[in-house]
Amino acid sequence: MTWEVLSMIGTIAFAVSGAIVAMEEEYDIFGVYILGIVTAFGGGAFRNLLIGVPVSALWEQGLFFQIALLSITAVFLFPSNLLKHWQKWGNLFDAIGLAAFAIQGAMYAANMNHPLSAVIVAAVLTGSGGGIIRDLLAGRKPIVLRSEIYGVWAILAGLLIGLNIATKPWELYTLFMLVTSLRVLSYTYDWKLPSQGISTH
């Protein structure tokens, strides 16, 4: 049940964040739907490829497609004067999607008895895969690869699930709140990992 709820939350959050990015980039309605759907399902497709589940399993998620389409439609029809703070909303939905899908991806791999390393990779790719595809299609640098701390929170989720520290539903929901909060804090306060630029001059 927890898995279903997290899938639902992640799907809605990433569909919304994809639609918001498309509208920021002034895509037409077709572009908004495409980006929303790709963001919502990209991470799951990545994960399935990696842990040996047929990617076609995604097409069995009819209900999730309907939920994603409804979420995108709601964003598209939302009064634009209320969406002045795009960036803030986009970041919040992205944080919720990251947390929900990182936990869901880690649970998926753990249930298939994969080793800890695979559980962590599944968490990172499921949590950030949709966002990476979204940013690339929108011509942006993927968030996960730059600036504020992002992927580390997915690794944390994978670690806690892979080591069987978070297994009960309430523990998983607490972890979901924790990862979302940490991601929000990291972009609010601009927490960064060390980076090394190379000057070309």
Give the separation between CA 168 and CA 58, rounded to whole angstroms: 26
What's the pLDDT tens digit per position in 72-124? Answer: 999 888 877 666 676 778 888 889 999 999 999 999 899 999 999 999 999 99
**pTM as predicted:** 0.87
32-36, 55-59, 174-178, 192-196: which has the minimum mean pLDDT? 55-59
162-200 exposure pattern, b = at least 16 Cβ within 10 A, e = fewer? beeebeeeeebeebbebbbebbbebbeeeeeeeeeeeee
pLDDT at position 149 over 90: no
Query: What is residue 199's predicted lDDT score, i.e. its pLDDT?
Result: 67
Q: Looking at this protein, which amino acid is placed at residue 47? A: R
Average pLDDT, the chain: 87
Per-residue pLDDT at 12: 93
CB atoms within 10 A of CB 37: 20
Rounded to the nearest 10 degrees, the angle between the axes of helix 2-24 and helix 116-137 is 30
